[in-house]
Structure 1
Amino acid sequence: MEKFKNKKYVLIYICALFFLWPSPCRAFLEIKFGSVVLSPGEVLLWIGGTLGTCLGIFFFLWNRQLKREIASRKRAEKKLIYSENLFRKVFSILPVGLWLADKNGKLIKGNPEAGRIWGKLPLVDVAEFDIFKSRRLGSSVNMAVKDRPLYRTITEGITIAGELLEIDAFDGEKRVVSTFTAPVKDDAGNIQGAIEVNLDLTRIKAMESQLIDSKSRYRALFEHNPIQTIIVDKNARIMMHNFAGKKRHGSLPAVGDVMYKDYAEKHSVDMYNALMACMRKNEQKDFSEIKYKERYLNISIAPFSHGAIITLIDVTDRCRLMEELQQARKMEAIGTLAGGVAHDFNNLLGIILGNMELALDEVPQWSSARENLKEIQTAGLRARDVVHQLLSFSRKCDISKKTVDLRKIVKEAEHLLRASIPTTIEIKTEMPKEICPIKADSTQIQQIIINLSTNGAHAMEAKGTGILTLGLENVVLDSMESQRWGDISLTPGKYVVLRVSDTGHGIDSAIQEKLFDPYFTTKEVGKGSGMGLFVVHGIVKSHDATLQIESQPERGTTIKVFFPATDEMPEQSSSVCAQLPRGEETILVVDDEISLVKIASVILGNLGYQVKGVTSSREALALFQSDPMAIDLVITDMTMPEMNGKMLAKALIEIRPEIPIILCTGIAQEISVEQLKQMGIAHCIEKPLERSELATAVRRVLDEMIHIRQ
């Protein structure tokens, strides 16, 4: 409508000019050609029309320009409103805190994120944030106003970027912010205010702290892990390793070395190839019991994106324990076998000793053969003790200790050694006329002497000749004297020192530490079990004795055993010619070895007894069942086929409860007195049987039965 009105005025002007144009034209013609025919009114009208036309054109142009300016201003106002709305929107949703300050440093505006950072929402009064407390990160002193980044920006006109501050928020929390400040200037360059941006780094700093703690824990776990761990890159170069390997091996590979590549052992080359293959295929692989420098390792390779993690677990002790377990099982099997062999050997010794005693009865006192028979009898008795030890070892029975004279044991050992050691090795004995007695098992002491002497003889084999010395010495130690024995600890008191010396190649100090370990040997495979000195050590400990080794390379070895002395006197052996007890009772002898039955029958028959001998438990039971009252005593072997001694005794007692029974066994200690009473057995004696022991036991049991009947 407005446009239409404007156009209407323009038309009026044009029409007025159209109707008035003749007058100006006529006036123009008259002036030009000299004739004036215009009236005053026409002149005024012409002037007025002209002026009106000019004014009309002017107002027309002015009106159009004015409309343009109004339209431009309206567009500018719309842009300004849009810009202000956009600023407010951005200001309110920015994830950083924004503050606006005037030229005096007073805060005039802040966004919601700034309020959140400072712990106060909604922002009602911006001015109250002027009192905030802040300090540089790591400092405990609050900053003065003049030191604050915003104040310095306003006063100095500088831009500050990335200054880390710790603030005390209004909600009681402490936050870390990164502060950026910049001045706001007018066109003349005068500072009119400043803007401050706060980036909340609290969570990031907390995560950094957690990451540092995590790295520290990982580093501590990695470095102090008892399992040796090595991390390598794609080229198998060591990036890092822990200290577990140094504790075990005394050294560590250097960072930057190629894992396994720099070692000359064949297995190292194989492990390098396996390592590279695992990383190439991205496959984990485990290797068990890899031998490396006398150690056994379980190695695991676990590849990752930048290399591989290698763990090395030292299983040397476990492997050695497994070896020892296998050896122990072998020894257990040997013990079981030895028990069986010893039982059979016991029967053979019984036949030998029994017939020996019967032969001695037939040989006159003046015969030279009698001494030879006594030597055989002595050797048989010593063999009986050895068998007794074998049975004790196989059945884990305690060894009985008696008061013994070491001089006699050393002489017997010397006699045995001369028959087993090469004649090129001289055997010497150094013993005083009198030696203190000790509490010991004579057979085990002899075993110590023989084992140590055998090792000494082996040490002299390379030279071909040498001297083996067996010595005894009485030693009395007081508190001061006991200290002179160096590396061993001895309590004050009386000791008997057994000394075994050789002139062999000597023993290195490193080997001395392992000398008495089980299965340790310096001999070639198949020439030694490594158990000889271990057994010696066990016997020494069981006798409360102490070992000392003195040795130097190429100067021989001396091993001393300190036995505590005793004031008791050694037991004297009973005279062979002593009167043996006799009787007339009927005795049933049961043993699966017919020779032993015959010997027992002859011995008991010579003592006046009526003897019925059988070689079968079933036969004995049938004989007893036929006439139980005809038998006064039963002597039965323990180990027999079909029905052993215990089973036979039980069957006989069921028939006749009061029948006295003597049980013969390889080791009497394996059956306690309580067990004998429970089984109804009157007495237990060890095989092989001695005539005096058998005669005494038979008479005692029969007399006890007579006493009970009365």
Structure 2
Amino acid sequence: MVKKTSDEELEQKDENLKEKIAKHKQAQEVLQERERWFRFFFESAPEFIYIIDTKGNILQTNDATLKVSGYLQEEVLGKCISDFFTLTSKKIFDEQFPILLERGHHRQEVEFICKDGKIIILDCSVSALRYEVGDIMGFMVFQQDITQRKQAEEALRKSEAKYRELIFRINEGFVAIDEKGYITFANPRLCEMIEYSEVELIGKNIRELFDEKNREILEKELAKRRRGEPSQYELTWTTKSGKKVPTLMSASPIFENWVYRGSYAVVTDLSEIKRAQEEKKRLEAQLHKIQRMESLGTLAGGIAHNFNNLLMGILGNISLILLNKNPSHPDYEKLKNVEHLVQEGAKLSQELLDFARGGKFQVEPTDLNKVVKRSSDMFAQTKRQIKIYTKFQKDIWTVEVDVGQIEQVLLNLYINAWQAMPGGGELYLETQNITLDENYVRPFKVKPGPYVKISVTDTGVGMDETTKQRIFEPFFTTKEGNRGTGLGLASAYGIIKNHGGIITVYSEKGRGTTFNIYFPASEKEAIKQEKLAEGVLKGGETILFVDDEEMIIKTGKELLETLGYKVLIAKSGKEVIEIYRAKNEQIDMVILDTVMPDIGGGEIYDMLKKINPDIKVLLSSGYSMNDEIKEILERGCDGFIQKPFTLKELSRKIRKILDKE
């Protein structure tokens, strides 16, 4: 019994041993299978894989490591893994290695030096390999090449930095908002534009920066952004101080994965452009006004010329009748009244001509301080309820003007001021040397440079914009009844324009009016005026009288004969030349109308001058002094007389020319 038991036990042990051997063999096969899979993974993985010991030395590496790095197996095995890193990466790895031994894991980006010297960037992950009891036997190192990703990130970073710098430096505003309208970014230019700091703007809802009208525009535009539509539109911001800043918004939406995340906009300040547009409108209006005044001037000049010819016939005949009338004659006073009325009519006509062409009879270098003082002193004597204050420029520049015309302009302005101050007031007169630039003078069609400015300011009722736009038009008046003809300021405008000057007006209802007049400065020295001789001066020379109006011819002939002159008549340019060519030795002087039907006055003068270079000619016209007459005088013509003229005026003009050596 004992022996049997022993055999059974042996058999049982043998079975158990075979079972253990089978299990061990099975376990060994599983282990080998796992090892084959591990080897396959180890060798075929695209990442760098190392097995290192607890000192960091490489025990094993895969083919990917050798292929990419260029090293051979024998050049790698046994070396410390950090020896293949750059100094910076090696220092970090070596410093972290003691911690790795404690924790069993570590991760960092390292710069790996390939055999050819190229540096690649690897994402390095280290995990501990442990014995069954838990002690660390070594480490598995996985390294993924992230060079391209890092290069892309760096390129993106540089690009973002570049564009951020650009956005910070551009002279345009830039703003970004989220989907709810809260500001997420604002560049310095926008902050400057709307007077907020960046800190104040970030997190602020953009709607708070606009008034109600502009918020409505903004809401419509934000709806477009949510639909993915970019657009350009004008929007006026309200600054921190309450000012309005017009801008052009160039806006685009921001989407992430088809979800609206907000928008951004380039903000262009339109303030200067808007101001330039307003200035352009003002200049265009000024130009339109000047052109309108020129058209009115042409019409007024034609009317005044014809009217003067009619007055010439009346005044000439009155002068002839009065010459033979004794003051005691019952008709003498009536005739003197008619003469006075004709002269008043001539003044009205003259104002029309002053507006139309701004006649300059005796242009000479002048000190405007003296002209302003003389005219204001004279006005002050008649209107004592007006207090006059003067401020004169020291060493005032000389101007070349017709003193009589400028005094007329100033008196018209004084009277205009007096009528604007019915209860009395103050009148301020100032002269000033000033230089006008190209931008200022452009709408007035005059040259830039040095000017003398006269300012006439009253404390009267002022004018509204409608009145201000029309005050220089002939016959326009705001005065009731018969208190004004509407020609005073119109003639002032014409006179100043013909002097190459400028007149402007500034006025507000209830706050008075200022007229500013500018005359071009001259380098000549101011001279004193000479008084004309008094009385009728007679003679006995022969005069060729030229005019195409029958009434003027008849009246002029009688006037000349009354003064003792022998008179020849010519009614056309052709007739003038024929008579003068035939009788130039007998003719001492020619009185020549500048407006003839066949040949112009200037051309007639030049033809007469060719026949006799020493010819003496007095120009006559219903127009006041204009550029055409001035040019003829500059070519050597002896003088000019404007119709209608009196017998006395004609006599003095003739003797001045004939008696000249």
TM-score (norm: length of structure 2): 0.61
Matched residue, 1:278: 224
Matched residue, 1:131: 83
Q: Is the 8 A contact 2:460 2:512 kept in 1?
A: yes
Distance across 2 between alignment mates of 1:330 and 1:309: 44
Q: Is the 8 A contact 1:410 1:470 kept in 2?
A: no
SS in 2 for 1:465: coil
Deviations 1:281-311 (A, max 9, x none): 5545555697988868465464524344454
Deviations 1:377-417 (A, max 9, x none): 69967975884575369xxx999553257566556568789
Deviations 1:482-514 (A, max 9, x none): xxxxxxxxxxxxxx9988675669xxxxxxxxx
The match for 1:391 among 352, 357, 363 is: 357
Deviations 1:574-611 (A, max 9, x none): 22437477742544435xx7766666666666543312
Q: Are 1:426 and 2:413 counterparts?
A: no
Q: Return the letter of the residue paired with 1:126.
A: V
Q: Is the 8 A contact 1:449 1:500 kept in 2?
A: no
Q: Is the 8 A contact 1:407 1:431 kept in 2?
A: no
Q: Is the 8 A contact 1:133 1:167 kept in 2?
A: yes
Q: Are 1:89 and 2:44 counterparts?
A: yes
Deviation at residue 160 of structure 1 after TM alignment: 1.6
Aligned pairs for 1:83-232 (under 5 A) are: 83-90=38-45, 93-94=46-47, 97-111=48-62, 120=70, 125-126=75-76, 131-132=83-84, 134=86, 143=91, 146-147=94-95, 149=96, 151-152=97-98, 155-156=101-102, 158-161=104-107, 163-165=108-110, 176-232=121-177
Q: Is the 8 A contact 1:346 1:688 kept in 2?
A: no
User: Relative to structure 1, is the Cα distance of residues 240 and 104 closer, same or farther in structure 2, using a 3 angstrom cutoff?
Assistant: closer
My pick for the range that moved more, 228-237 or 374-383, is 374-383
Deviations 1:17-63 (A, max 9, x none): xxxxxxxxxxxxxxxxxxxxxxxxxxxxxxxxxxxxxx9xx999999
Deviation at residue 327 of structure 1 after TM alignment: 1.0
Q: Are 1:635 and 2:592 counterparts?
A: yes
The match for 1:524 among 464, 472, 479 is: 464
Unaligned segments of structure 2, at least 5 residues:
1-9, 254-259, 433-451, 473-488, 585-589
User: Relative to structure 1, is the Cα distance of residues 345 and 574 closer, same or farther in structure 2, using a 3 angstrom cutoff?
Assistant: farther
SS in 2 for 1:610: strand
Q: Is the 8 A contact 2:428 2:458 kept in 1?
A: no
User: Relative to structure 1, is the Cα distance of residues 282 and 114 closer, same or farther in structure 2, using a 3 angstrom cutoff?
Assistant: same
Distance across 1 between alignment mates of 2:84 and 2:651: 114
Distance across 2 between alignment mates of 1:76 and 1:431: 119
Deviation at residue 332 of structure 1 after TM alignment: 2.8
Aligned pairs for 1:500-511 (under 5 A) are: none
User: Relative to structure 1, is the Cα distance of residues 313 and 571 closer, same or farther in structure 2, using a 3 angstrom cutoff?
Assistant: same
In terms of Rg, which structure is larger? 1
SS in 1 for 2:132: coil
Unaligned segments of structure 1, at least 5 residues:
1-54, 475-495, 506-521, 615-619
Q: Is the 8 A contact 2:112 2:119 kept in 1?
A: yes
Larger RCO, structure (CA 8 Å, separation 6 or more): 2
The match for 1:610 among 557, 561, 568 is: 568
Deviation at residue 317 of structure 1 after TM alignment: 0.9
Distance across 2 between alignment mates of 1:281 and 1:61: 80
The match for 1:329 among 281, 284, 287 is: 287
Deviation at residue 233 of structure 1 after TM alignment: 4.3
SS in 1 for 2:571: strand
Identity of aligned residues (%): 12
Q: Return the letter of the residue paired with 1:182.
A: S
User: Relative to structure 1, is the Cα distance of residues 277 and 88 closer, same or farther in structure 2, using a 3 angstrom cutoff?
Assistant: closer
Q: Is the 8 A contact 2:537 2:652 kept in 1?
A: no
Distance across 2 between alignment mates of 1:68 and 1:250: 85
Q: Are 1:467 and 2:425 counterparts?
A: yes
User: Relative to structure 1, is the Cα distance of residues 126 and 219 closer, same or farther in structure 2, using a 3 angstrom cutoff?
Assistant: same
Over the aligned positions, Cα root-mean-square deviation in angstroms equals: 6.5
Q: Is the 8 A contact 2:49 2:141 kept in 1?
A: yes
Q: Is the 8 A contact 2:429 2:454 kept in 1?
A: yes
Matched residue, 2:440: none
TM-score (norm: length of structure 1): 0.57
Aligned pairs for 1:578-657 (under 5 A) are: 579=537, 583-590=541-548, 607-613=565-571, 620-621=573-574, 623=575, 629-630=581-582, 635-637=592-594, 645=600
Distance across 2 between alignment mates of 1:354 and 1:249: 73
User: Relative to structure 1, is the Cα distance of residues 125 and 360 closer, same or farther in structure 2, using a 3 angstrom cutoff?
Assistant: farther
The match for 1:306 among 222, 236, 261 is: 261
